[in-house]
Amino acid sequence: MKAKVASFVLLGSVTLGAAPAYADTSGVTDQSSTTVETSAVDDSTAASADGGQLFLASDEQYVQTFGVAKAAQRGLTYEAVAQSDSVADSAVADDTDKSVSQADSADAAAGAATVDDAATSHWSVVKFVAHDKDGRYIPTRQGNRDFGWVHFSGPHNIHDEKVIKAAVNEHPEHGSTKTRKVYGAVLYDTLGIILARVKVIAQYHWETKDHKYKLADTDDKIGVITAYCEGANKCPDALNRV
């Protein structure tokens, strides 16, 4: 599959010959590539950082843009998992309503996650929500040391909700099951060189897999359990500046 998205939006200028300072922050760079690709996909996120423009897109978007072979050459493989639990449109609407009300209630406590958040907020408070390409409602909850935002944001250096939203914006990846959904995103530069590969693991169920945390509403979803960068214990700072 080497499908390109139908319409591209040029998000920024292409930088040639630059050696970005962040290039050394990941073990997944491919400096051998010199081909200038289309610089971004339609709904990826972009920003300038450290003298070069960076982009954030789901694994699926990246593969659609650059093709399977180029993505694999740069260390990314994406394989959508056939899911029998895709969400109908009506269910999406219901979930969206729920997510908005929950997110609103969480706004007062939102912001950068800190240990104080854990002390004053309940683990179930929804910080923000996303929907995947099948329409599944995937909240990210405040969580605690065990799971959720408090669990992964500090230790894995993911402080911007855009990172999670970018990853969830695809069909679930290899490794997904009925209740566990795996999503991915990549941080890449104008040459398409991948600087970080993010994985997001969500529990699409009303209780965590270890049965420790449960929601009273069995139609609700626990959501994001953890997120991390492959190949490193901490994600590069540049990931949060896109």
Partner 1 sequence: MPRRVEPGMTEHSMTWDETALSGLQAQLAHEMLGRATAFALGPEVRLVRGVVTSPQRSDVGRVVVWDGQRVDSSVAFDLPLTDTHGGNIPSGDLAAALRGALADCSEREVERAPRDAFGIPVLDASAAVHTFMAQPRFHLTDALHAAAAAFAALPEPDEPAELRLRGFLLLDEVTCRLYLDTPESEDAPPFGVDLPLRDEDGSVVVGVTAAHAALPVLLLGELERLRKDVHDPYCRAVYDLVDWLTGR
Give the binding site for partner 1 (CB under 8 A): 122-124, 145-147, 151-152, 154-157, 174-175, 177-180, 182, 199, 201, 203, 205, 208-216, 225-226, 228, 230-231, 233-234
Q: Is-contact 62 188, C-beta < 8 A? A: yes
What is the distance between the alpha carbons of residues 186 and 173, in angstroms, rounded to a whole number? Answer: 14
Distance in Å, CB of 105 to partner 1, minimum: 12
> 39 or 140: whose CB is closer to partner 1?
140
What is the distance between the alpha carbons of residues 18 and 24, in angstroms, rounded to a whole number? Answer: 13
Q: Is-contact 129 137, C-beta < 8 A? A: yes
> 165 or 205: whose CB is closer to partner 1?
205
C-alpha angle 134-138-141 in degrees, rounded to nearest 5? 175
What is the distance between the alpha carbons of residues 19 and 96, in angstroms, rounded to a whole number? Answer: 42
Q: How far apart are the first and last CA of the chain?
A: 28
- Classify each residue of 81-117 as buried b or exposed e, where b means 16 or more C-beta atoms within 10 Å of its C-beta: eebeeebeeeeeeebeebbeebbeebeeebeebeeeb
Distance in Å, CB of 200 to partner 1, minimum: 10
Distance in Å, CB of 74 to partner 1, minimum: 15
Distance in Å, CB of 79 to partner 1, minimum: 11
Distance in Å, CB of 216 to partner 1, minimum: 6
What is the distance between the alpha carbons of residues 159 and 210, in angstroms, rounded to a whole number? Answer: 26
Distance in Å, CB of 184 to partner 1, minimum: 10
State the DSSP code for 213: S
> 74 or 199: whose CB is closer to partner 1?
199
